[in-house]
Amino acid sequence: MHCPACRTSRLQPAKLEDGLLGHGCAQCQGTLVSLLHYRDWAERQPAHETSTELAAEAEVGETRHALSCPKCAKLMSKFQISGTRANRLDLCATCDEAWLDSGEWQLLKALELSQRMPAIFTEAWQRQVRQQASEQARRERFSRIAGEEAIVRADEIRAWLKDHPQRRELLFYIGHD
């Protein structure tokens, strides 16, 4: 099998974690992971994983172009990991294989998602990612308009109002000056 990202290097057996093997590319450091083997590995892991810090300078790769599955040659679908990160995992639904670009496994571990990787490929997860991205964009837009300090204060007020018994009346009062 050839690397779907480099398209020239042959994939070699690679170890992501103890008991979790894949096929890695020596050139781009990406790894092809069988989700069947991944699920077996995840079931044998302790319930709580410990977060590992992702160094700020750590290089996390991202393949921008569409990838072809190295097993069946069909195009792989891209699934965004988080609304705050640009990284996307590539999935061949036919072969049930995922391609992780260089550093994406470490990113999953840092985000405490290494034991929940298949959830990323669900519609519910992707909907949540879009909502996160939308909320972050909205926050950044208002931050540019009003300033970060004002947004922090507004968030404090929002949190205070959230469960306040007279929330509706207070919002009405604020809206009518």
Domain boundaries, the chain: 12-118, 128-175
- What does pLDDT average to over the chain? 90
What's the rounded mean pLDDT across residues 151-176? 92
Whether the predicted pLDDT of 119 surpasses 50: yes
Question: For residue 52, what pLDDT is reported?
Answer: 52
Q: Residues 87-103: pLDDT tens digits?
A: 999 999 999 999 999 99
Whether the predicted pLDDT of 49 surpasses 80: no
Percentage of the residues of the chain whose pLDDT score is greater than 70: 92
Whether the predicted pLDDT of 168 surpasses 60: yes
Select from 155, 160, 128, 161 the least CA-distant residue to 142.
155
What is the model's pTM?
0.76
Strand locations in 18-96, DSSP E? 20-24, 31-34, 77-80, 88-92
Q: Which helix (H) or strand (E) element contains residue 104?
A: helix 104-110
